[in-house]
Structure 1
Amino acid sequence: MRPPTLDQLQRQTTWMAWRRRALSPLNVSDLVTSAESRREFLEGCRLLGVSSPKPHQLLINDMLAAGLETNGVLIPRQAGKTKTLTIIALGRCALRERYNVGMTITTQATKTFEIFETTVIDELELVWPDEDSRPFKSYRGKGSQHVRFPNGSRFSAKSPKGSSFRASSYDLVWLDEGGEASPEQAVDLRAAIYSTFDTRPDAQLVVTGTAGTFRKGQLLFEALEDEGNGVVRYAFPEDVTADELAAWEPTEEFPYGRVKELTLAMHPGISSGLTTIEKVAKRFVALKERFAVEYGGIFVRAKEPSTPRRGTTPARTSLPRCPPTSHWESCRPSPAALPLSSPRGATRTARPTGTCSTTARAQRGWPRPWPSSPAAMT
């Protein structure tokens, strides 16, 4: 099938046929397409000068068109992730009134503003060199880079901290490099961002990136693992073994190595022509163990607690000190602990009060016979 034009992709049959050519993700949530969602995506393509979007870019758009509030996109390097989300954001801003989009890269603020200028503003101005005829206005002020549209919509770069989003309302927030966020940063961003959605009925959070070096409290990993979220996950299978990751292809030393096979099965950038398997093979040599994270989408599991070596004695757990002698006095029964007569003639005994342990009471001779009278207790 030849790549369809933007006008042809407006038809649902053509759109669906082209989307089916996308490499199948490891996990993907429900996909939805409508005339409106297609029109917005194609408008974003026109603004950026993209004449032939890739099939997996349509798939990501349709995952977000399902309208779920929280969404995760795990995709390897050089697969068109940034371009795809930029197309979606610009298309929505162009066709939805007062649509507010904020994006940030969790690594650092300077990187966010740099990437926004090069991948959004520079690309737009290259396609629309005449400032007077542009269907938008771009602003490059340091720390306030953004693009504004005549309908009041705005696409802006933000610092990767919660305070950058507070006191505003957003329709779409895009957190890139979510696999690099610390647990504390994840908590800070989520606490600030979700509250900005309260007055926006169709607001969405999109977390994108490659895998991270931990799982618990990981921003991108948790977005991908929640069954109620929208997900597109291009990654190696979770049950991949160390033997399979040991070599690019089987060798005498590593007969089970098959990283090339695994990569071809899950890298949409290769299948769509954005990069080549030869280039990715060089990354495998350069990155070594890190390749499974950056390109394979494998989040590193936490290490198990180490066990003592054979022949060594485990450290003894310190025991609590025995209470002082004066403390034992609190173990003496109160007058209320005397035998009590029930209406039916049966005898029951109130439990003695005190704070010392059962072991300590046994060492002191507990239980003792109850005294015959309160006076006998002194």
Structure 2
Amino acid sequence: MTDPTLDDLRDESNWLEWRARAEAVPALVCGDLVTTDQTRAEFIEGSRLLRLDHKVRAGDGGRGPTPVQLLVADVLNAGRFMNAIFEPRRTTKTTSVQAVLLGRCTVRDDYQVGWTMLTTGAKASERFRKDIVAPIERLYPNPKTRPMTVNVGKGTEHLAFPNGSYLNVYTPNGDGFRSGGFDAAFADEGGEADVDLSLDISLAVLPTMDTKIGAQFIVAGTGGRVRAGNLLWDTLQDPAANVLWHGIPETTDPAELEAWEPDEQHPRARMREHIELVHPGVGYTTPLDAVKRNFDKMPREQFLREYGGQFGTEGASDVLIPPAWWERAARDDQPTSPPRDAVAALKVHHNGTCASLALAWEVDDTDLVSAALELDGLVDPARRRVIWLMHWQTGTDQLANTVLTHLRRRPHVPLVYDAFGHTEAIALQLKKARPRPLLIEARRNDIPVSTVKLLQGLEANTVIHYRQPEMDRAAAVAVKRAFGNYGTFRFGPPARDPDADVTPLEAAALALHHLDERAPSSIRPEDAVQF
């Protein structure tokens, strides 16, 4: 399909065909989509007022709305109260929302819109003048013949339509919203809002919509540094919200994000490939070269927030492991022993208050569900793995002797440890033992890589765990904590409980990661001898 004109998009089949190009881009979340004759007419009118049919796109030289802009419109047109549009930079998400709201103001009587940018009041005014007022003045140079009144007075910026509709621009606080009643409130650059601003906007806006049928609160933006209490992040996590979110999955191997293309130092890097796969604006509004230029100049964590559809890890309070994944992977029985080719890993709490010794090994765990998945080619039976907490204790008293006793019973099992703090101190004691156990010092990069591998295994349903109180508690509270470069992370305690114990997960993840270097096994847990 060649670029459709605005008139072409009035036809539902043309609209759906053009939108399908955006639907082909893998989304982390894509909520309900609705298109009707009226919603298409509204978006087309808004696009006309913004002169999208005249502006040349930087990515392909075309004109008119892009496929993802139709996708944004149809997410909003599904009519949910809470809405989050979390898209990479240069996806024209703001323009898409503006087109929808301008069109509604034109078509619907008495439609009231409040819009702000959660950066500065000056920025909101600037964007109003450049994004909305400038194209309208180009279309209608004579104020007397314009189909709306334009007011650019500082602090009173608005559009007033003859049908009683208004689009008002406010500074980024709740004061302007409190006195109004809105059919739609649009908070742009939601990722930039701190906790206080997020709360102020929410408390101010939400009551203004109580008496409005079909009211909508729309939060859009790119990833911010802080998650906890951020308006955009909280809306993304709201199960009642309609969400559109494109980005690089957080479970992506960090080594793939280290460079634009594979090179001698970064043989597994493939950032270009990820961007081409998940950025719905590349090739339309954004040339790939422009993204590459910013990749070269930006710190990696910032690039992933701006262009990779990821949030920063400051104040992360959301649980990293979805409860549904953990429950699906659970087994009610307990293993009798791991096979010879299991891998053990040790992790001591950073305060030395507790310690975990975990194991990982491969199994033939075929059940009715697994067998069906294997027949469908969705699960590779050779890659189903167990993680098991073999020992957990408070403190570190006699920990080295306890670990050594377990390793003596299975001399072929290596012990992986990270050389940090209390864990390294225990490893130094083990090194003095004779005969010395098989010890593997984890590299620094193994920690974020192992975290990602465990998440990937749980997501793909290729990791099994047994119900154990300490492991289950860790999975219920572990959050994302920044570690190293390139936006990498590890399991960490939540901000509300910085001393929480996540060592069972940390140890299990390291054991699972180093299992790759061991020969596979097909022994069932119940067939193994007592450990």
After TM superposition, the score normalised by the length of structure 1 is 0.79
Instruction: State the shift of 1:168 in Å.
Output: 1.0
Deviations 1:219-252 (A, max 9, x none): 1111112221111101111202321211111111
> Corresponding residue for 2:244?
232
What is the DSSP-based 3-state SS (H/G/I as helix, E as strand, rest coil) of the residue aligned with 1:275? coil
Of 95, 105, 121 in structure 2, the residue corresponding to residue 109 of structure 1 is 121
- Aligned ranges 1:68-79 → 2 under 5 Å: 68-79=80-91
Residue 291 of structure 2 corresponds to residue 280 of structure 1: yes
Q: Is the 8 A contact 2:109 2:165 kept in 1?
A: yes
Of 173, 178, 181 in structure 2, the residue corresponding to residue 161 of structure 1 is 173
After TM superposition, the score normalised by the length of structure 2 is 0.57
Instruction: State the shift of 1:288 in Å.
Output: 2.4
What is the DSSP-based 3-state SS (H/G/I as helix, E as strand, rest coil) of the residue aligned with 1:125? helix
What is the DSSP-based 3-state SS (H/G/I as helix, E as strand, rest coil) of the residue aligned with 1:244? helix
> Corresponding residue for 1:59?
71
> 164-173 vs 4-13, which deviates more?
4-13
Residue 48 of structure 2 corresponds to residue 41 of structure 1: no
Letter in 1 for 2:291: V
Instruction: State the shift of 1:106 in Å.
Output: 0.6
Structure 2's unaligned 5+ residue stretches are 54-63, 317-348, 353-419, 424-531
What is the DSSP-based 3-state SS (H/G/I as helix, E as strand, rest coil) of the residue aligned with 1:126? helix
> Corresponding residue for 1:373?
none
Deviations 1:104-126 (A, max 9, x none): 11111111111111111112111
Residue 229 of structure 2 corresponds to residue 217 of structure 1: yes
- In the TM superposition, structure 1's runs of 4+ consecutive aligned residues that sit over 4 Å from their partners are 302-309
> Corresponding residue for 2:110?
98
Instruction: State the shift of 1:307 in Å.
Output: 5.0
CA RMSD of aligned residues (A): 1.8
CA distance in 2, matches of 1:112, 1:303: 27
CA distance in 2, matches of 1:91, 1:306: 56
Q: Is the 8 A contact 2:72 2:93 kept in 1?
A: no
CA distance in 1, matches of 2:350, 2:176: 41
- Aligned ranges 1:58-207 → 2 under 5 Å: 58-207=70-219
Higher relative contact order (CA 8 A, sep 6+): 1
Deviations 1:295-319 (A, max 9, x none): 111112248996587489xxxxxxx
* Matched residues, number: 311
Of 249, 259, 271 in structure 2, the residue corresponding to residue 247 of structure 1 is 259
Q: Is the 8 A contact 2:226 2:315 kept in 1?
A: no
Q: Is the 8 A contact 2:228 2:315 kept in 1?
A: no
CA distance in 1, matches of 2:193, 2:208: 20
Which structure's residues are more often strand, by fraction? Answer: 2
Deviations 1:9-42 (A, max 9, x none): 1111111111101134221001011111111111
What is the DSSP-based 3-state SS (H/G/I as helix, E as strand, rest coil) of the residue aligned with 1:299? coil
> Corresponding residue for 2:498?
none
What is the DSSP-based 3-state SS (H/G/I as helix, E as strand, rest coil) of the residue aligned with 1:269? coil
CA distance in 1, matches of 2:202, 2:154: 25
- Give the 3 Å change call, closer, same or farther, for CA 303–57 of structure 1 in structure 2: closer
CA distance in 2, matches of 1:225, 1:148: 35
> Corresponding residue for 1:12?
12
Q: Could you tell me the percent identity over the aligned residues?
A: 38
CA distance in 1, matches of 2:99, 2:105: 10
Deviations 1:187-209 (A, max 9, x none): 11111101000110111011001
CA distance in 2, matches of 1:17, 1:175: 30
Instruction: State the shift of 1:66 in Å.
Output: 0.6
Deviations 1:250-308 (A, max 9, x none): 1111112111111111112113x211111100100111221011111111224899658
> Corresponding residue for 2:271?
259
Residue 220 of structure 2 corresponds to residue 208 of structure 1: yes
Q: Is the 8 A contact 2:248 2:278 kept in 1?
A: yes
CA distance in 2, matches of 1:214, 1:243: 24
Deviations 1:330-362 (A, max 9, x none): xxxxxxxxxxxxxxxxxxxxxxxxxxxxxxxxx
CA distance in 2, matches of 1:264, 1:242: 17
CA distance in 2, matches of 1:114, 1:77: 18
CA distance in 1, matches of 2:32, 2:94: 22
